[in-house]
Amino acid sequence: MLIETNKEEVSIKDFTKLNIVIGTIVEAKSNIKAKNPAYILKIDFGNNLGLKSTSAQITNYKISELIGRQVVAVCNLPSKTIAGFKSEVLVLGAISGKEVHLLRTDTTLENGTLIG
């Protein structure tokens, strides 16, 4: 997976438009229709946002490692259809070679907690 670095500066005002929050993965399964290996995740973002789904190329994790794991995700980007699946959020991770290491906090937080 290769993601180009965006060198364009953004303002704090632009950054604060992103709704970046904590959620807990409650369901994970293989996205068998995806061209590149991926999982379909159902994530609980708490009372305000509820359950959201996404397709993520994070197959360096086992499904059993994902269930119950808290993640950081952007929840107000437009939905995107991936291999016939509606992906509603963008789970954030650090990209190292072909692996993605999911971002998380060092303590368990309430689902829906804002990242800023």
Does the domain at 13-102 match CATH 2.40.50.140? Answer given as yes
pLDDT at 59: 87
**Average predicted confidence (pLDDT) for the chain:** 92
Q: Give the bridge partners for 96, in sequence order.
A: 99
CB 61 within 8 A of CB 98: no
Beta-carbon contacts of residue 4 (< 8 Å; ≥ 6 apart): none
pLDDT, tens digit, 9 for 90 and up, residues 47-102 = 999 999 999 999 899 999 999 999 999 999 999 998 889 999 999 999 998 899 99
Please write the tens of the pLDDT for every residue from 61-73.
999 999 999 999 9
Name the token pair of 46.
Answer: 């708490």
Reading the block at residue 19, the tokens are 């709704």
Pull the structure tokens for residue 29.
Answer: 């399964």
Q: Is pLDDT above 50 for 1?
A: no
Measured CA to CA, the distance from residue 84 to residue 77 in angstroms comes to 18
Sequence-distant (≥ 6) Cβ neighbours of residue 74 within 8 angstroms: 18, 19, 20, 89, 90, 92
